Amino acid sequence: MTYDTVATISQVTSLLFFIAMFGSVVVYALWPANGAMFEAAQRDALDLREPSRGKQQ
């Protein structure tokens, strides 16, 4: 095996791994069962009426 062969195999493997991870994140984010969790996180993040827990004023 030459350096070029090893480099090509490494690059292709890394690209496929990146595509798989990206696809997994997209599927997780768009999965219908996770919608309520993301909506709750959005409401909590944008709720400015109550001081944040853990922060001292």
pLDDT for position 25: 96
Query: Within a domain: residue 40?
Result: yes
Averaged pLDDT in 10-residue chunks for the chain of 57 residues: 96 98 96 88 75 59
Query: Within a domain: residue 53?
Result: no
Tokens of 49: 């009426």
Q: What whole-number distance in Å separates Cα of residue 57 and Cα of residue 45?
A: 18
* Domain of residue 23, residue span: 2-48
Query: Within a domain: residue 15?
Result: yes
pLDDT for position 48: 57
Query: Within a domain: residue 55?
Result: no
Judge whether 34 and 40 are in contact, CB under 8 Å.
no
pLDDT for position 30: 92
Query: Within a domain: residue 56?
Result: no
What is the full DSSP assignment across 1-57? --HHHHHHHHHHHHHHHHHHHHHHHHHHHH-GGGHHHHHHHHHHHH--SSPPTT---
Query: How many separate domains does the chain show?
Result: 1
